């Protein structure tokens, strides 16, 4: 279970509270507030708070005093223009805060995006739960032979069973040693009064990277969309992509016009270098262009052919 009964009760209580406000709200995202969306085997994402909406982007771009009287189509056109031409500050006017439960190795990849405010569960003060990420069989793959960062063929049969056994056994053994070093019960009292427990800040170093941690993560829309452009991409590591895809759905509920523009101009688009564009123009002029005379190296040529649907 991703949540304890106590946590579920706290969330249910929070969802019953309604506070009148003069600021703009988004009904579709309000319906998601505090709701837990499971990710992976023990993880989750939930929206805690947000500020702004599609109208806030437009308002900031025009530096207007109110919500404006322009038509929705004009506002959508402006947002699409801002997205298409890589304007940033109007999108920074919107912010969102998530509560995320995720494996430590995913958190260490995620934290490379240094444009958010983060507060992580502290294993110096509290004891981490006995929960570990174990990949489902379809995501248990060998190292790719052509991509140093990627996965290759899925493991099967005895190979898969052996790896899954190692992951479970190592995580369980390390956690058992972690609790043994802590020498604490649920109340914080010594399990064995005859010996002292190791400090929590030291005992935690024995935990495996598939142990789950939690954090609050607050970010503005511009930087969130940059995060999603990388982590919701088909080439991103599956585990972090699973979180990004859930977050993308919350963005769609929150700022649907901006999210549509993002899908059109970022996720569903490609960027061509000047030599790539030259090669495409030559093709459009009816010239037969091969890699050898395109001015592109093999990787660039392969990417261009994939973008043109000729890969």
CB of 32 closer than 8 Å to CB of 15? no
Per-residue model confidence (pLDDT) at position 47: 97
96 φ/ψ angles, rounded to the nearest 5 degrees: -145, 150
CB-based burial label for 290 (10 Å; 0-12, 13-18, 19+): exposed
105: Cα within 13 Å, side-chain hemisphere: 12
- Partners of 47 in the β-ladder: 98
Tell me the pLDDT tens digit for each residue of 180-239.
999 998 778 899 999 999 999 999 999 999 999 999 999 999 999 999 999 999 889 999
Distance CA 192, CA 184 (A): 8
Dihedral angle over CA of 57, 61, 62, 64, nearest 10: 50
Residue 89's CB: how many other CB atoms inside 10 A? 12
Active site residues: 231
- Partners of 284 in the β-ladder: none
CB of 55 closer than 8 Å to CB of 64? no
Tell me the pLDDT tens digit for each residue of 165-181.
999 999 999 999 999 99
Please choose, from the candidates 277, 273, 220, 276, the residue with its C-alpha nearest in 3D space to the C-alpha of residue 251: 220
149: Cα within 13 Å, side-chain hemisphere: 5
Q: Note the residue count of the chain.
A: 311
87: Cα within 13 Å, side-chain hemisphere: 18
Tell me the pLDDT tens digit for each residue of 250-285.
999 999 999 999 999 999 898 999 999 999 999 999
Residue 241's CB: how many other CB atoms inside 10 A? 18
**Mapped to the 3 state alphabet, what secondary structure does the chain carry?**
CCCCHHHHHHHHHHHCCCCCCCCCCCHHHHCCCCCCEEECCCEEEEEEEEECCHHHHHHHHHCCCCCCCCCHHHHHHHHHHHHHCCCCHHHHCCEEEEEEEEEHHHHHHHCCCCCCEEEECCCCCCCCCCCECCCCHHHCEEECCCCCCCEEEECCHHHHHHHHHHHHHHHHHHHHHHHHHHCECCCCCECCCCCCCCCHHHHHHHCCCCEEEEEEEEEEHHHHHHHHHHHCCCCCCHHHHHHHHHHHHHHHHHCHHHHHHHHHHHHCCCCCCHHHHHHHHHHHCCCCCCHHHCCCCHHHHHHHHHHCCCC
pTM, two decimal places: 0.89
Of all residues in the chain, the percent with pLDDT exceeding 70 is 93
pLDDT tier for residue 66 given thresholds of 50, 70 and 90: low
64 versus 214: the higher-pLDDT residue is 214
- Partners of 103 in the β-ladder: 212
Please choose, from the candidates 70, 68, 87, 119, the residue with its C-alpha nearest in 3D space to the C-alpha of residue 221: 87
């Amino acid at each position: 279970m991703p949540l304890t009964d106590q946590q579920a009760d706290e969330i249910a209580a929070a969802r019953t509270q309604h506070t009148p406000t003069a600021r703009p709200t988004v009904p579709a995202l309000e319906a998601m507030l505090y709701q837990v969306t499971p990710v992976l085997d023990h993880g989750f994402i939930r929206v805690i708070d947000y500020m702004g909406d599609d109208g806030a982007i437009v308002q900031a771009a025009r530096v207007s005093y109110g919500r404006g009287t322009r038509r929705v189509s004009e506002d959508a056109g402006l947002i699409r223009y801002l997205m298409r031409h890589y304007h940033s500050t109007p999108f920074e006017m919107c912010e969102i805060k998530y509560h995320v439960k995720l494996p430590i190795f995913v958190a260490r990849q995620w934290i490379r995006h240094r444009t958010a405010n983060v507060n992580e569960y502290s294993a110096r003060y509290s004891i981490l739960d006995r929960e570990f990420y174990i990949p489902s069989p379809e995501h248990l793959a060998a190292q790719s032979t052509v991509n140093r960062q990627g996965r290759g063929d899925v493991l099967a049969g005895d190979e898969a069973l052996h790896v899954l056994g190692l992951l479970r056994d190592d995580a369980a053994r390390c956690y058992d040693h972690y609790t043994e070093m802590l020498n604490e019960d649920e109340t914080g009292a010594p399990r064995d009064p005859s010996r002292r427990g190791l400090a929590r800040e030291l005992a935690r170093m024995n935990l495996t990277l598939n142990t789950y941690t939690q954090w609050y993560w607050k970010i503005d829309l511009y930087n969130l969309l940059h995060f999603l452009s990388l982590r919701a991409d088909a080439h991103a590591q599956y585990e972090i992509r699973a979180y990004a895809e859930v977050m993308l759905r919350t963005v769609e509920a929150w700022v649907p016009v901006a999210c549509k523009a993002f899908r059109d101009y970022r996720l569903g688009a490609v960027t061509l270098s000047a030599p790539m564009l030259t090669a495409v123009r030559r093709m459009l002029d009816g010239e037969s262009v091969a890699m050898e005379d395109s001015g592109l190296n093999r990787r660039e040529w392969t990417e261009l052919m994939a973008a043109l649907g000729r890969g």
